[in-house]
Structure 1
Amino acid sequence: MKKAILITIILISNLLIGQEQKIDKIITSFDDYSSLYREVAYCHLNKSTFIKGEMIGFSGYVLDKDSKVPSESTKNLYCVITDASNKVVKSKLVKVDNGFTNNVFTVDSLFSSGHYTFKAYTNWMRNFDEPNAFVESFRVIDPEEESSIEKTATIQKLDAQFLPEGGFFVNSVKTSVGVIIKNNQGYGVQDVEGKVYDSNDQLLISFQTNAFGIGKFQFTPSLDQTYKVEVNHLGKIYNYEIDDIKPKGISVHVNNSPKLLAVELRTNQSTLRDIKGKSYKLTVHNGKTAKATPVTFKEKSLLKIVNHEELFSGINILTLFDENNKPVLERIFFHYTGINFINPGTPITTTYKDSTRIRIPLSNLAHSSTDKTNISVSILPETTKSYQRQHNIISYTYLQPYLKSYVENAHYYFTNVDAKKKYDLDNLLLTQGWSSYNWDDIFNNNVTDTYAFEDGIVLKANQNKKRQKEYVVYPLEQNNGVKVSLSEDQDSFVVSSLYPIESEMLGIGTMNKKGKVWKPDLGTEFYPSEIPDFENTFKVLQTNQSFSPKGISKSEFSLIDLNKTQKLDEVFIKAKKRQTKIENLKKDIFTKVYAFDDTKRNSNLTFANYVNAYLPDYYARETSGSFEIVPRVARSNVNDPSPLIYLDDQLIVNQNYFYAYNMNIVDYLVVNENGYGEGFLGAGGVIKIYTSLDFVNKNKRGPFRQFEFPLTFAKNKNFYVPKYNVYKGDFFKDYGVIDWIPNCKIDDDGSLNFTVYNPANSPLKFFIEGITNTGDLVSEVVVVNNDVYN
């Protein structure tokens, strides 16, 4: 008897150990698969329907997929527009700072009437099958092509799917069935009535779809029956069958209460005989972390109760595994708790000349770091038909990356959330089946870092026949200069994190033993050198065509010559920025600022020439490849030290570098005669030289070679609002643009502040999107009523 008990204990212990090992394998495999950093992209577009000639304004957000906070690592974001044939129409590389970026595309002659897809992604995202990139459809209307289009009736074809909870209809097992009915454009058909009949034409259950074509019913399928579903839409009857019923299997039913989540696993008698006592596992994961619990079937029904505190905030993917760690079924559940929404208060408006100043309080924003927070606002007429986007920033970061199919009107589930919207979202997830995470890939760890995580542009410079030890990489608008020293056995060097802006060229010089700079004999490679391809992981919904333009004419609005305007503005802004910087430096009582002009640049001055002619505190001399600079007036009885010399904020230790140094690309100098802030080393003072390649084209005599970047970052261009000839007509009300603010100003009280020019003197609608540095999200539509302007 004791021996039998001992054997039983050993068998149970071995069983438990084996079960723990199999659970450990699931968790370990998932941890390995999810260990690589992931990010998700979202873009707030100012509209979804554009008239040819307008601008597409967008704010880009790149977030850490796990923590849902802005990514501080990502710098390169590719933004690509493709047509219906997936041909690239326009593309840009934009720089991301603290998770944010913004730019514009012009809807110009490259566009015709039709549907286009906007994609935003990083190179790193290409390593993963999960849909982490941003993909959205928008529509373009060319008035010359669609000036007289009338709405025409289209033949309606319904696609109906009946999806059992967990993935399978199982004989004699009561099952919740998700219904989704779509039209031929892929949109859900609302208020469709359906009835389920058995083989004897006996009515079993009725159902009705909601606003997105989704419904639900429960029934117990039987193998000896065939089931017909009769759908009535607009007086026409459509018939479908439910016939894929498995003789064996397991079904799942999820029921949520205010504090608990009940997960019921159901099976039939014949399946129970096969699985009774076997080691099943129920796991839950959120894309980053997985948990598991053992499950053993003793009866046809098994109930697991989960406290809400044990759930992840956001997505929860429940998977049941059999004794061989094969996934049997999956159910996706969404837990709203822990997602921090920012709620806008009542707008405060004041009239200022012909404009209106708007102040919108936002809860929680006052406690956030405003320099790492971004809020974008699209301002349109209240009756606009041109903003019919499927997603907002919350739905695209918390929901879409975890699903296989594109969600219609996903923003609905995250705007003014209440019990009904939570119920509707759960019905949506019931119809989704398996998540975007493939367990075969997870167990096989089919994730690599084939595609590099990019931070700007990387230069690799290869020496040709002439070998040198010292090189100078000249500064860019967003990069300081770099000095490179090579050892005897090195024949190349690498400079990373370069951020060239559009037409910028890279200047590289080499310095000989005497310290003189010459043009180098180099070959260059740049990474990345082109915008990479990106294939959609799912089919996006086209912008809804439930409305059509009628009587649109280009005479209704006029556009600025954007090329000329942008060029003029760019020069003005750059000049103003330079002047402001110089004026701020002049406020420092310890420094003197010497601004250059073209006269000095064209004088072919060396640094020594310039010092002796323009810097009264110093004297310089250069002979036989050496350079020396000393104070003009002796400060002590011993030899006075030379001043420290910085070139574009890089300390040049070997001052022979400045032998015969040509000043033809210098922007300005800052001289600190007393060397305050540099300690003992600055006893001889400090001279800081700042250069700019803006002057390269004017001064071809520079002692360096210029290299062209095959790929550069897009300029941060301004958004221009069309000028409308008629502000009271239907065209402006339906398609007009009031303004677009990609990075709205936030005051110390955590309120949005902006000024709106509203020539129509009509009600406005504000589409507000954004995120703070701590992951608090805002996505709201705010209407300013007409009485504000009366």
Structure 2
Amino acid sequence: MAHGDIELAKNLSSGTYYIQLDTHWNKNFMEKYVLPIQIINPKINVVTAKNSVAKNADNLNLNFYPESGTLLNNTVNWVYLNLENNGVFIAEQPITILDNKTNKIVAKAKTNKNGQAKFSLLSKPMHNYTASLNYKNNTYTFDLDPAKDSGVIIHKKHNQENNITQNFVVEFTKDVLKTYNEQSFFATIHRNNKLLYVLPFKINKKDTKYLLAFNKENLFNGFNTLTLFNKENKPISGRHFYSETKSKINIIAEHGEITKDSLTIDFYLKSSLKNTNLSISVLPKDTKLNNNAINILDAFLLAPYINKNVAATHKMSNNDLDMLLQTQLSSFKSHHINNKKPIFAPETGLQINGTINAEIKENYKVLLSSNESEILEVTKIKPDKKFSFSNLILKDNSNYKLALLNEKGLLLKSGFYIYKQNQSYKVDSLLSYKKDEFISAKKENVETNIDYNFLEYKDAQKLDEVIVTAQIKKEGTVPESLYPNTPGLLGSGFTKKLRISEVQSLTLTVVQYLDRQVNIDAKEKFGSVYLRIKRGVSTFYGSSMPLLLIDGFPTTNLDLLYQMRLNQIASIAVNASGAGYGMRGGAGVISIDLKKGNEKNKLKTNHNYFTSETDLGFTTSKPFFGNYPFQFSSLISQQFYETLDWIPYFNILPNKTNSLKVYKGKHDIIKLFINGMNDNGNLFYDIIELSTKDRL
């Protein structure tokens, strides 16, 4: 998962706005991803026409969508419909279908909350049909299009007993069977011009119906299109449908410790062994801020393929979802499956290439690590002493380390030559898009011999090769930019030295002591340590983990504090704002000085690392969220529009308790809006209400 921020103008009026997201890979396609957002600006007066809807005359519109886009005679057809009044769905509206020739009711339907419904109709030749409804004491009638005598329909089987396959029934008229007798048809599963699966089957003139069973593993997760082709590769019929093929993530949230302004929540993964990353919004129970917000399930699986924004589709039944797809999308049309090789490469990450200046033996490897970018990679060494790391998602201007490993995994001294590189695309602010302009590219106009390992900077001269040489750090020296020699001077005026009493020193661990401090959340369980400074400012990349200094040396391995006794500590200082430490201290800084022992027990620095720095990357580090001091005119407006907390990057590990302390304010009940994804790509969305009162 990724997240970021976009700075909006303060003079924007309240209303619906749209954010367009684009990538280098997306240039291969005409589709653009547009996300609607709701903005509420209490400082801007919103002028609306009073009772504008009431003054408008009713303008009912009833549209019919026969299954597969075809209404056939002499067979049972499923017809979907969509009912609107001045563009607004009409819910719970009864509708009757009349046979105009016999003047009898042949079908009935009732719209759901989104104004959609469906009915079955046995259409007969020379018969016409009309839909009739009574709305506000007025009767409205709408004619169905005449049925055809020839064609093909695809019917989706609902309420299946097994959850392994998705079944369809393909029905042919007799003249079509006669034309294609003993010929093969091809049922294809595709989405967005990507072909996933082909199921061939042969028809004969005796059988009019054919059952097609697709294993869920051969379907896309979410939206799918089934298209039927003949042997000349011409589309005959098609249908859209929705299918969830990946297992759902189950997460349990339990009520924990309560303080004056915060609540600790314990999260558990149920029946899952994969790490899950969550984004958690904490809002009051009666909030209106998330009424029209799209969740991760809809955003990935459905929203890009429908014409209108429909909220809470994840709570719809299978029948309602199917009606939504049939009525939101246009009727069946010819589909073009594009099998051409894409022109633009995907954003596969950065690449680091280099050469080792040391004696190399068999099975030696190179280790790359970056605490800032949370990367740990190992690669093999080529016979010419060259090595390469690819697909690295490194932060802009971030540090990384290289080390030489022998066959036993021990670090050896070595020098490194690092080649300066780039990808074939620009990143961050260099990626631009102009309004109403689509990028069209032809293969013959694109350079075929692109060197993806070379960096082309703006206003820079292209060189054949740039070599950066470096030497191993000398004993006792530390780069000032990353490891300051006098860390106590950084953040002067912002760092608070904590007082440790004699009783605390004898009875508490370091984590227990930190958890008792104001605005610090600290937990230790099963060998792991969770630590967060509540008032710390998070970084753009989302890490809420504070910078930990042990005897002046920074580390992100908080587990070093597990069960560490407080009597081993000489002093503890907290810099909640991280001032003086740059982007490394964006989530705050905790500095711990250990009591000095004899020379054998002193911690020694490993100088077999080579430290370097990237000069470009995928994200920049900057503050992105803070609690704004809004003044609400009433408790009701506070319940509706206050934002309590937001944790954009919370990683839940299996087989352990994952504790999170959130700000609760003065609300008795809070609501968690949780979106997430695990390492297998399975998605999670849930809304959880929690009481902020002590349990009896």
For the Cα contact (< 8 Å) 1:382–1:764, is it kept in 2?
yes
Query: What's the secondary structure of 2:69's corresponding residue?
Result: coil
Candidates 324, 327, 330, aligned match of 2:235 = 327
Counterpart of 1:295, as a letter, is K
Q: Which runs of 5+ in 2 are unaligned?
A: 353-369, 376-389, 399-419, 438-534, 561-605
1:527 is displaced (CA, Å) by 4.3
Q: Is 2:41 aligned against 1:142?
A: yes
> Which residue is equivalent to 1:660?
none
Give the equivalent residue in structure 2 for 1:380.
Answer: 283
Give 1:449's aligned residue. 342
CA spacing shift, 1:358–1:209, aligned 2, 3 Å: same
Report Cα offsets for 1:570-618 as digits up to 9, x if no partner. Answer: 9xx99x8495695258x99xxxxxxxxxxxxxxxxxxxxxxxxxxxxxx
Output one character per residue of 1:541-583: Cα deviation in whole Å (capped at 9) or x when no partner. xxxxxxxxxxxxxxxxxxxxxxxx999999xx99x84956952
Return the alpha-carbon distance in structure 2 between the equivalents of residues 568 and 390 of structure 1: 23
Distance 1:781 1:254 in 2: 31
Q: Describe how 1:364-763 pairs up with structure 2 within 5 A.
A: 364-365=271-272, 367-368=273-274, 370=275, 373-389=276-292, 391-401=294-304, 403=305, 405-406=307-308, 408-409=310-311, 411-413=313-315, 421-431=317-327, 439-442=335-338, 445=339, 447-455=340-348, 501=396, 527-528=425-426, 530-533=430-433, 577=547, 582-584=552-554, 713-726=619-632, 729-746=635-652, 749-763=655-669
- Kindly indicate whether residue 66 of structure 2 is the aligned counterpart of residue 164 of structure 1: yes
Return the letter of the residue paired with 1:136.
Answer: L
Q: 2:259 aligns to what?
A: 352
2: distance between equivalents of 1:569 and 1:279?
A: 58
Alpha-carbon shift at residue 776 of structure 1 (Å): 3.4
Q: Are the structure 2 counterparts of residues 272 and 438 from structure 1 closer, same or farther at C-alpha, using a change threshold of 3 Å?
A: closer
Residue 168 (structure 2) aligns with: 263
What SS does structure 2 have at the residue aligned with 1:266? strand
| Aligned counterparts, 1:62-461, within 5 A | 100-109=1-10, 111-129=12-30, 134-146=33-45, 152-154=51-53, 155=56, 157-185=59-87, 188-200=89-101, 201-222=103-124, 224-256=126-158, 257-259=160-162, 262-285=167-190, 287=194, 289-299=196-206, 301-304=208-211, 306=213, 312=219, 314-315=221-222, 316-336=224-244, 338-365=245-272, 367-368=273-274, 370=275, 373-389=276-292, 391-401=294-304, 403=305, 405-406=307-308, 408-409=310-311, 411-413=313-315, 421-431=317-327, 439-442=335-338, 445=339, 447-455=340-348
Q: Which secondary structure state, in structure 2, belongs to the residue aligned with residue 733 of structure 1?
A: helix
Contact 2:68–2:331 (CA<8 Å) still a contact in 1? no
* Structure 1 residue matching 2:324: 3-state secondary structure: helix
Q: d(CA) in 2 for partners of 1:134 and 1:235? A: 43
Cα offset for 1:689?
8.0
| Alpha-carbon distance between aligned partners in 2 of 1:229 and 1:333, rounded to the nearest angstrom | 25
The answer to whether the Cα contact below 8 Å between 2:539 and 2:623 also exists between their aligned partners in 1 is no
Rg larger for = 1
Question: 1:651 is matched with which residue?
Answer: none
Which protein has the bigger helix share? 1
Distance 1:134 1:240, change over 3 A: same
- CA 454–581 in structure 1, closer or farther in 2 if over 3 Å, else same: farther
Change beyond 3 A, Cα 1:244–1:378: farther
Task: Tell me the amino acid that sits aligned with residue 720 of structure 1.
Answer: G
Q: Hey, what's the Cα distance between the residues in 2 that align with 1:268 and 1:114?
A: 51
Relative contact order higher in (CA < 8 Å, ≥ 6 apart) = 1
Check conservation: 1:254, 1:264, Cα contact below 8 A.
yes
Q: Read off the aligned partner of 1:533 and give its amino acid letter.
A: Y
**8 Å contact 1:458–1:526 — kept in the other structure?**
no
Cα offset, 1:721, TM superposition: 1.9
Cα–Cα, structure 1 residues 323 and 146, in superposed 2: closer, same or farther, change >3 Å?
same
Structure 2 counterpart of 1:645: none
| Structure 1 counterpart SS, 2:322 | helix
Going from structure 1 to structure 2, the CA distance change for 1:498 and 1:205 (only over 3 Å counts) comes to: closer
**Residue-pair matches, total:** 491
Distance (whole Å) between structure 1 residues aligned to residue 21 and residue 252 of structure 2:
31
**Distance change in 2, residues 1:715/1:239 (3 Å):** farther
Amino acid at match of 2:203: T
Q: Which amino acid aligns with 1:583?
A: F
Q: Closer, same or farther in 2 for the Cα pair 1:432/1:183, shift >3 Å?
A: same
SS in 2 for 1:246: coil
How far apart are the structure 2 equivalents of 1:690 and 1:781?
Answer: 44
> CA, structure 1 residues 360+411, in 2 after alignment: closer, same or farther (shift >3 Å)?
farther
Q: Which consecutive residues of structure 1, in runs of 5 or more, have no partner in the other structure?
A: 1-99, 415-420, 460-474, 481-494, 505-521, 538-564, 589-684, 694-706
Q: Which moved more, 1:380-389 or 1:190-199?
A: 190-199
**Letter paired with 1:280:** F
Q: Secondary structure at the match of 1:439?
A: coil
- Asked if the contact 1:103/1:716 (under 8 Å) is kept, the reply is no
- Opposite residue 640 of structure 2, the aligned amino acid is D
CA distance in structure 2 between the partners assigned to 1:313 and 1:569 by the alignment: 35
SS of 1:374 mapped into structure 2 = strand
User: For each residue in 1:390-411, what CA deviation from the matched residue of structure 2 results, as whole angstroms up to 9, or x when unmatched?
Assistant: 642223333445x353452354
Contact 1:173/1:267 (8 A) holds in 2: no
Q: Which amino acid aligns with 2:67?
A: E
User: What is the one-letter code of the residue matched to 1:754?
Assistant: L
Q: Which amino acid aligns with 1:302?
A: K
Q: Distance in 1 between matches of 2:216 and 2:393?
A: 46
Q: Which amino acid aligns with 1:191?
A: E
User: Among 687, 690, 694, which residue is 1:781 paired with?
Assistant: 687
TM-score by length of 2: 0.59
Q: Secondary structure at the match of 1:440?
A: coil
Distance 2:328 2:320 in 1: 13
Distance 1:688 1:397 in 2: 41
Structure 2 CA distance, aligned partners of 1:108 and 1:392? 25
Q: What's the CA shift string for 1:662-705, capped at 9, x where partnerless? A: xxxxxxxxxxxxxxxxxxxxxxx968786889xxxxxxxxxxxx
Alpha-carbon distance in 2 for matches of 1:438, 1:497: 40
CA separation of 1:412/1:322 partners in 2, compared to 1, >3 Å: closer, same or farther? same
1-structure distance, mates of 2:84, 2:396: 45
1:234 deviation in Å?
4.2
Q: Deviations over 1:453-501 (max 9, x none)?
A: 2356899xxxxxxxxxxxxxxx9x9799xxxxxxxxxxxxxx9979674
Distance 1:721 1:184, change over 3 A: farther
TM-score by length of 1: 0.53
For 2:678, the equivalent position in structure 1 comes to: 772
CA gap of 1:499–1:125, structure 2 versus 1, over 3 A, is same
After TM superposition, give the deviation of residue 448 of structure 1 in Å.
Answer: 4.3
Return the alpha-carbon distance in structure 2 between the equivalents of residues 752 and 108 of structure 1.
37
